[in-house]
Amino acid sequence: MIYRMTNEHVESVATIHESSWGKDELSVKLGREYINRFYQYIVTSKYSFGFVYIFDKQIIAYAAGFYDYQYFNKFFLKENLLFIFMTLIKRIFSCKMTLIDILNLLQDDKKLSKAQYRKYHLGALALSKEYKGVELGKQAIYDTNSAVLNELKDKGYPGCWGLCNFNNVPMRNLLLKLGFEEIDLIKMIKKNVVLYEKTF
């Protein structure tokens, strides 16, 4: 069953994020406390929302959407500035992050240079590790993302964007299955990312 993501789901969602996303993803490098804050903000900000898929009393998949990604980021950064700054410093000194990550972060805007629907975003999503490659998992992640897309569509928005690393083949397959089209291949330092958009 699909439910709207609330504060009580945040801990489980963060656990799935931490174990299911690639270790090369910036959010994973930033650590568990950062991930928790990020999802806590998703369920409280008026610019974002999420859904979880619960099977056998456990969350097995989740997806988040953004009504206005730029405002979400602006206020998330503003309200967590000291925490984010301290996290970056700690993670660099403990070698969890490198200068390359910081340089890529500084050119983050480059990713959306060809986007038509900059505000509206299908964002963070994942399937719990045990359900990857399993039929129930595929259905769960597809349905949860579809719930996010339907919500954005029902708001009357014209379309939305999604993004992932070039080498994240399962994620690229999922976005295509959800009806997204490839818009741009963006070269960052030591990685490439692909921008996708879906018109409603």
Positions in the binding site for ligand COA (CB under 6 A): 20-22, 25, 124-127, 132-133, 137-138, 141, 164, 168-171, 173-174
| Closer residue to ligand COA (CB): 173 or 199 | 173
Nearest distance from C-beta of residue 93 to ligand COA, angstroms:
26
For 158, the 3-state DSSP assignment is coil
Give CA angle at 52 (58, 144), nearest 5°: 125
Nearest distance from C-beta of residue 162 to ligand COA, angstroms:
7
Amino acid identity for residue 74 in this structure = K
* Residue 119 DSSP label: S
| Closer residue to ligand COA (CB): 43 or 194 | 194
Q: How far is residue 200's CA from residue 198's CA, in Å, rounded to a whole number?
A: 6
| Closer residue to ligand COA (CB): 56 or 135 | 135
Nearest distance from C-beta of residue 20 to ligand COA, angstroms:
4
Residue whose beta carbon is closest to ligand COA: 170
Q: How far is residue 126's CA from residue 111's CA, in Å, rounded to a whole number?
A: 21
| Closer residue to ligand COA (CB): 65 or 137 | 137
Contact assessment for residue 9 and residue 62, using Cβ atoms and an 8 Å cutoff: yes
Q: How far is residue 2's CA from residue 165's CA, in Å, rounded to a whole number?
A: 27
Nearest distance from C-beta of residue 60 to ligand COA, angstroms:
10
